[in-house]
Amino acid sequence: MAAAVPTASPRGKGRLAAALPVVAVAAIAIALMYPLALLLGLPLAKLRMDNVANWVRLVSAPHALAQAPSDPAAGAAAGTRLAFGGVGPDSSAERSVLVYGGEPLSARFDIIDGELVLEDALPGPLLEWGSALTPAGGGGLIYRLPEGASVEQALYLNGRLLLPGVSLAVERPDGVLNSFTFPDAESGPVLVNDKVLLEGEGFEAEGKHVTLDAPAPFNAVVSRVNGDYAPVDPATGTIVLAEPSGVAPRVADRQLSLGELLVGAVDGSNRVFQLQHVPLVESDPERRIMLDGAELSSAAERPQERVDGERATFTFAGDRGVVTVGGVEVLEGKDFTRSGNQITFTTRPARNAALRQYPDYLVSDPANGTITLATPPQPGSALWAASYTYYDHPACGATEFECFLTMPQHPMPFPHWIAKRIGPFLTAYPLTDSRNVVRATLYTAGGTLTALLFGGIFGVLLAILFVAIRPLESALLPWVIASQTVPIIALVPVLVLLLGKAGVTVQTSLVPAALVGAYIAFFPVTVGTVTGLRAVDPLSIDLMKSYAASPFQLFWKVRFPAAVPYLFISLKLGAAAALVGALVAETESNNRLGLGYAIVGQVQAGNVSDVWILLLISAALGITLVAIVGLFQRFIAPWELR
Amino acid sequence: MTEAPAIIEVEGVSKLFRVGKTEAVALQDADLQVADGQFVSLIGPSGCGKTTLMRLVADLIEPTSGRITVAGKTPKEARASREYGYVFQAPALYDWRNVLSNVMLPLEIMGYSKAKRRARAEEMLEMVGLESFHRSYPWQLSGGMQQRVSIARALAFDPKLLLMDEPFGALDEITREAMNFELLRLWSQTKKTVVFVTHSIAEAVFLSSHVVVMTARPGRISETIEVDLPYPRGTETRESERFFDLTTRVREALREGKEGAEVAAPGPERRPVAKAGY
């Protein structure tokens, strides 16, 4: 009350200066979202990177002759240099074995700069040709193998070995997603399950990013050819080439190849060997461990008897093998004695312990690629791997940060990712479509304003009744308070059901949202208005009494106007409450309209960015609605806005 | 008090307030007569029943015993026929009304025509020197200006009697003196009868034709002192010897009253403020 003549309001001037801190806080909040996104996302990215189940699986197989010799039947003389597909400069002769048709050869050799140099002469043939592949469409890209050939056999095009290879998509197909990233491929056809898509007819590519014309089916295998070719469908023997060829590739039925020797001493007593590529895929139908020309079995035998904790003697189908109890090897002579196909434990195995006998070998440590043989290989024999599957590298990227960037769902996306999504998200559907977000927002705004209108009127009437008739207040107030303790999430289904019985169809009507909104909006209005009506200065009432004013005049000229600022404060609270009510009602009413429904839909679809956008829209809607109430206040009750 | 027609007659009025189970005597056996055109101040310590007496006259409360006549009617009738205007210690202006419509409020209630209440309110505001503040809201005015609006409002419907309950109590000394001059000017201009409650001896003597001295516990009227200073009064009045004599008399009367007072529980002067809220 100090200023004597404040004719001009100080508002208006410095409005910009007043907005500055608000903008600064928003900027700080947005900036803080970045470290927060990393804080929340990086541990998940690390989990994703460390989990070998998410790694790229590769099959290690013998390296076939890189160039078909001009006369395969002639063999090769000592000193001949041979190149093998996929053999690099770090390959060594000690870890390799020459194989022809599944049989290791005894010819000695050395590997120099990735090329094999024969020290002994090799008798022929070095390669036996099968038939040529038959074109199967795709503009010279797709070919079919001849009858009896498998996709694992070596293929040659113009005498040169073709190397297979695909890059798997980082994203997990959810049935909706149609854009994928292939970390190791920048050209070539795309495979969706066993369907071949060609660039320009099925997808558009931009570097590592590919946009399919149609979304990939849920859980489909989406990959892109990054070798010379990729097998498409083993059942029909179809392959797809990375680049089109007019000449059909040929399949080699047998060819000289370089196999991988297992690491370990072959001295007649050592049984533990290691594979060169780790970690191993434990359950691997591809794994073929060879001892000289024979394949070792990875099968396990179970005892014929139950492991009941009493029994010590068990019978197996075979009379040899590595015996394990609960995955741990037990030793003959120390832990058990063998008599034919019966073994007798010195200490009885515990009840229901897993007792197994591996006749040939056991993968004892898949992480380190260790296998344990039942019988030590004799000196001079070759223990080699014809093929096996291993985990090569994380599919999501080379670093934790790359894995973070390629995560399909971020607990908290970077703000600029959200910002980038706003445009496409808002315009994803035309305005005429009920799925359009602007439409949904307007629908929710309509529901909230209707709720606020009814809640406000009801709240004010109730407040007037309470103030006018005291006993009514003491009778009803506990129930009014109780009404607000009912969780609306439980109330909504009941309400929807009741409305359905009354013939109000939820699908087309604003009524559920308006009713639920009004239900929670009226309470603050009642409380605020009662407070306002009671908070009148007693002097004002005495003054009216001195004028001999009627109770009606007292109410309309003093009590009600005095309560108006309280009413507006409570209407602002009510607007926020009504929005919550309307949103919750929309999530439950299943009418496919409104922001509430959209939020639930995006949460279920896992589109975190879109959920954030919807949150921001909801917040903006709430602020707008409160501002609208404030605007009304400016026109109706300007005196309180000092 | 001599002279003709008495506008307020208070005869043997007592007021008891019930506080829980005990009763407090706010006013005991009060007799007072105020003649038409007088300016009467009620002065006394806190709890002496000044405000209670005013509220009894205004029919805001009812006496426990005794008889009150206001303009020849019962207080109830007097209130119904709007015989008095009341000015409270606080301006009690309505925040949602600007200055002009605050002054028009009583006229609205009394059913004056729109044109008439506007003309009347403008006249009153001019009289208190606020003609250029019609559109201002109460919160934009100083305390003194607010109280002037409040006086304009009390005079708007031209009551015979102006009851003023410590109207300048919340003002600073400088404003208060200015308001005293203003009030005397208004009084001589409108020829109203004024009953004025105050805590200030100087103010009472300066303004009044009669000072009624009251004592506390129980509240009662101890003495009425006639102030024979000539009107119009000005700064020189405050500096005159007679003024000092009279203030000294009032002060002595207050002191005597205090020494003679019995010990009793003080009565509440104001009703408790009703606050609602959950």
Tell me which chain A residues have a C-beta less than 8 angstroms from the C-beta of B95.
562, 639-640
- pLDDT tens digit string along A282-340? 888 889 999 988 999 989 999 999 999 899 999 999 999 999 998 899 998 899 999 98
- pLDDT tens digit string along B40-76? 999 988 878 888 898 999 888 888 888 998 888 888 8
Residue of A nearest to B76 (CA): A548
- Among chain B, residues having any CB pair with chain A shorter than 8 Å are 58, 60, 79-80, 82, 84-86, 88, 90, 92, 94-97, 105-106, 108-110, 137, 139-143, 145-146, 157, 271, 273-278
Place of tokens 């999501």: A396
Residue A314: the pLDDT is 93
Name the token pair of A398.
Answer: 């080379």
Q: A473, A477, A481, A543: which to substitute to probe chain B, counting the most B Cβ within 10 Å?
A: A543
Residue B138 lies in a domain: no
Give this prediction's pTM: 0.66
Residue B270: the pLDDT is 43
Which residue in B84, B96, B157 is closest to A637 by CB distance? B96
Report, as an integer, the average pLDDT of B197-206: 90
Residue B5 lies in a domain: yes
* Stretch (H or E) spanning B41: strand B39-43
Q: B94, B102, B135: which to substitute to probe chain A, counting the most A Cβ within 10 Å?
A: B94
Contact A547 B273 (CB under 8 A): no
Which residue in A5, A540, A548 is closest to B82 by CB distance? A548
Report, as an integer, the average pLDDT of A14-34: 88
Count Cβ atoms below 10 Å from residue A497 Cβ, excluding itself: 11
φ and ψ at A83, to 5 degrees? -100, 140
Reported as a pLDDT band with limits 50, 70 and 90, residue A4 is very low
Segments in chain B forming alpha helices (H): 50-57, 75-80, 99-109, 114-127, 143-155, 173-190, 201-207, 235-239, 241-260
Residue B90: the pLDDT is 87
Which residue in B84, B140, B276 is closest to A534 by CB distance? B276
Contact A542 B276 (CB under 8 A): no
pLDDT > 90 fraction of chain B, expressed in percent and rounded: 12
Contact A558 B84 (CB under 8 A): no
Residue of B nearest to A477 (CA): B278
The residue with greater pLDDT, A605 or A446, is A446
Tell me which chain A residues have a C-beta less than 8 angstroms from the C-beta of B110.
547
Q: List, as own/partner pairs, every contact residues A228-231 make where C-beta atoms lie below 8 angstroms and the sequence separation is at least 24, other chains included.
A: A228/A157, A228/A162, A228/A163, A228/A164, A228/A165, A229/A155, A229/A162, A229/A163, A229/A164, A230/A164, A230/A165, A230/A166, A230/A191, A231/A151, A231/A164
- Residue A445: which of A600, A569, A567, A575 has the closest Cα? A575
Minimal C-alpha gap between B258 and chain A (Å): 30
Q: Is the pLDDT of residue B264 over 50?
A: no
Where residue B27 sits, what CATH number does that domain have? Answer: 3.40.50.300
φ and ψ at B149, to 5 degrees? -60, -45
Minimal C-alpha gap between B169 and chain A (Å): 15
Minimal C-alpha gap between A612 and chain B (Å): 37
- pLDDT tens digit string along A236-289? 889 999 988 888 999 999 999 999 999 999 999 999 999 999 899 888 888 999
Three-class DSSP category at A472: helix
Domain that residue B79 falls in = 1-83+161-169+191-269
- pLDDT tens digit string along A471-500? 988 898 888 888 888 888 888 888 777 877
* Amino acid (1-letter code) at residue B220: R
Contact A1 B146 (CB under 8 A): yes
Report, as an integer, the average pLDDT of A106-110: 89
Residue B230 lies in a domain: yes
CA atoms of A446 and A452, how far apart (whole Å): 10
The number of C-beta contacts closer than 8 angstroms across A and B is 89
The residue with greater pLDDT, B267 or B191, is B191
Contact A557 B108 (CB under 8 A): yes
Residues β-bridged to residue A160: A67, A157
- Residue B64: which of B16, B121, B103, B119 has the closest Cα? B16
Residue A526: the pLDDT is 92
Write the CB contacts of A168 (distance below 8 Å, at least 6 apart in sequence). A56, A182, A221, A222, A223, A395
Contact B141 A1 (CB under 8 A): yes
Count Cβ atoms below 10 Å from residue B69 Cβ, excluding itself: 18
Which residue in A531, A537, A546 is closest to B276 by CB distance? A531
Minimal C-alpha gap between B78 and chain A (Å): 10
Q: B87, B130, B140: which to substitute to probe chain A, counting the most A Cβ within 10 Å?
A: B140
Which residue in B60, B96, B276 is closest to A545 by CB distance? B60
Is the C-alpha dihedral spanning A81, A84, A89, A94 positive or negative?
A: negative
Query: Among A108-117, A353-362, A580-589, where is mean pLDDT lowest?
Result: A580-589
Residue of A nearest to B155 (CA): A547
CA atoms of B81 and A423, how far apart (whole Å): 71
Contact A544 B60 (CB under 8 A): no
Contact B140 A6 (CB under 8 A): yes
The residue with greater pLDDT, B81 or B217, is B81
- pLDDT tens digit string along B8-43? 888 888 888 887 778 888 888 888 888 888 899 999
Tell me which chain A residues have a C-beta less than 8 angstroms from the C-beta of B140.
3, 5-6
Which residue in A4, A535, A639 is closest to B275 by CB distance? A535
Query: Among A114-128, A151-165, B190-204, B254-268, where is mean pLDDT lowest?
Result: B254-268
Tell me which chain B residues have a C-beta less than 8 angstroms from the C-beta of A546.
58, 60, 79, 84-86
Contact B86 A542 (CB under 8 A): yes
Q: Where are the domains of chain A?
A: 59-128, 132-256, 260-393, 439-586
Beta strands A195-199 and A202-206, pairing class: parallel
Tell me which chain B residues have a C-beta less than 8 angstroms from the C-beta of A470.
none
Count Cβ atoms below 10 Å from residue B70 Cβ, excluding itself: 26
Report, as an integer, the average pLDDT of A617-624: 92
Report, as an integer, the average pLDDT of B92-99: 88
State the distance between the two ends of chain A, measured CA to CA, in whole angstroms.
12
> By CB neighbour count within 10 A (0-12 exposed, 13-18 middle, 19+ buried), where does B157 fall?
middle
Q: Is the pLDDT of residue B269 over 80?
A: no
Q: List C-alpha distances in Å: B57 to A410, B36, B223.
A: 77, 15, 19
Contact B92 A539 (CB under 8 A): yes
Reported as a pLDDT band with limits 50, 70 and 90, residue A363 is very high
Three-class DSSP category at A197: strand
Reported as a pLDDT band with limits 50, 70 and 90, residue A74 is confident
Q: Is the pLDDT of residue B259 over 70?
A: no
Residue B70 lies in a domain: yes
Contact A546 B110 (CB under 8 A): no
Average model confidence (pLDDT) across chain A: 87
Contact B139 A548 (CB under 8 A): no
- Residue A183: which of A52, A279, A56, A59 has the closest Cα? A56
Minimal C-alpha gap between B275 and chain A (Å): 6
Three-class DSSP category at B53: helix
Name the token pair of A157.
Answer: 């095009």
Contact A4 B139 (CB under 8 A): no
Reported as a pLDDT band with limits 50, 70 and 90, residue A505 is low
Three-class DSSP category at B214: strand
Q: Is the pLDDT of residue A621 over 90?
A: yes
Report, as an integer, the average pLDDT of A192-199: 89
Query: Among A311-325, A590-604, B135-149, B202-216, where is mean pLDDT lowest?
Result: A590-604
Q: Is the pLDDT of residue A99 over 80?
A: yes
What would the DSSP string read from start to end of A387-451?
A: EEEEEEEESS-SSHHHHHHT-SS-SS--HHHHHHHHHHHHTSS-TTSTT-HHHHHHHHHHHHHHH
Minimal C-alpha gap between A2 and chain B (Å): 6
Minimal C-alpha gap between B159 and chain A (Å): 11
CA atoms of A142 and A249, how far apart (whole Å): 11
Residue A507: the pLDDT is 59
Three-class DSSP category at A249: coil
Which residue in B88, B105, B274 is closest to A557 by CB distance? B105
- pLDDT tens digit string along A378-391? 998 999 999 999 99
Segments in B84-172 forming alpha helices (H): 99-109, 114-127, 143-155
Tally of domains in chain B: 1
- Residue A364: which of A277, A272, A288 has the closest Cα? A272
- Among chain A, residues having any CB pair with chain B shorter than 8 Å are 1-6, 467, 477, 527, 530-531, 533-535, 537-540, 542-549, 553, 557-558, 561-562, 564, 637, 639-640, 642
Tell me which chain B residues have a C-beta less than 8 angstroms from the C-beta of A538.
271, 273-274
Residue B260: the pLDDT is 54
Domain A439-586 of CATH type 1.10.3720.10: yes
- pLDDT tens digit string along B145-162? 998 899 889 888 888 889
